[in-house]
Amino acid sequence: MPKIRAAVAGANGYAGMTAVSLLAAHPDVELVQLTSRSLAGKPYQEVFPLLEVRGRFSDEIEPNGVDVIFSCLPHAAGAARTAQWFQAGARVIDMSADYRLKDAAAYPRWYGQEHPAPELLEKAVLGLPELHTEEIKQAQLIAVPGCYSTASILALAPAVHGGLIAADVVVDAKSGVSGAGRSPGLGSHFAEAGEAVSAYALNGHRHLPEITQELAGVAPDAVAPRLTFVPHLVPMVRGILATCYFDSKASAPELTEAYREFYAGQPSTQLVPTTPSTKLAGRTNLCLLNLAAQDGKTVVTAALDNLVKGASGQGVECFNIAFGLDRRAGLELPNQWP
């Protein structure tokens, strides 16, 4: 069988670099184009010296003859190009927030601008395989959810689906600094972020509407529980840990069984017997979940790698589903502990 011809737009950011590394090792993929405006003209191996990838960076994707484009461009930058990519026959896996929300009216509030291509929102399927496998199979446009969103949704979806949450939910989430992207900024500067932990976006993080949208989609009454979401920046490079608190209508064994049933056959989400650390999920495409309780309050923790299951690994998982491949192809990554 001929290999699937893939391109990565924005291959110089953390999500883009992770996508390139995964796709270069994928047995069914030929990487044919990498773009980066800042690196245009440079050989790929100046940026990826350990990969057997030949060619030079271009500033724009030439979509003709490309089967799939992984768009790792900044928010709103890829949306202006998606229609052109479609016309050339390419499927698009988008890593930005451009197509995650179904309601175009929500974008000005959360992203500070009107959506640049609202007519494409109805084509998009959220790239969370545990919830949307069947839709992903046919999708031309797949919107990979955010890293905080992935951890929080997967931590809560079985309880919401079973109608097992009795009251409000609190999500305390923590991220490594790579979640802020590769562009330098004061907030992720080593002297600012090192030896410090800080909460941010206390008035509402832009991943919150993704979480409530998807939880409403699995809720029996199509209404998500009221949720307080507070993210924190911690001095590590990669990883997400989301700790979720809620009152449950079910006993601990019943709740555990609900989670096991919901994620049966899902290779990337696993229940583990002890609270997972981010390092345990590091550099894998796994979301690790643990259920516990404290004085009657249910505590669900979720750990994942924000650049793999929280971004490009999940994009490759969606790609595998969309092209009828083994869902774990290119993603059977060994954990690198410690």
Enumerate the active-site residues: 147
DSSP, residue by residue, 242-283: EEEEEEBSS-HHHHHHHHHHHTTT-TTEEE-SSPPPHHHHTT
Q: Identify the residue whose tokens are 């007519």.
A: 119
Can you name the residues that pair with 171 across neighbouring β-strands?
229, 244
Distance CA 173, CA 219 (A): 22
Contacts of 189 (CB under 8 A, 6+ apart): none
DSSP, residue by residue, 155-180: HHHHHHHTT-B-S-EEEEEEE-GGGG
Comparing C-alpha atoms, which of 137, 167, 150, 173 is closest to residue 325? 137
Distance CA 113, CA 126 (A): 21
Could you write out the three-class secondary structure of 143-158? ECCCHHHHHHHHHHHH
Distance CA 210, CA 103 (A): 11
Distance between terminal CA atoms of the chain?
39
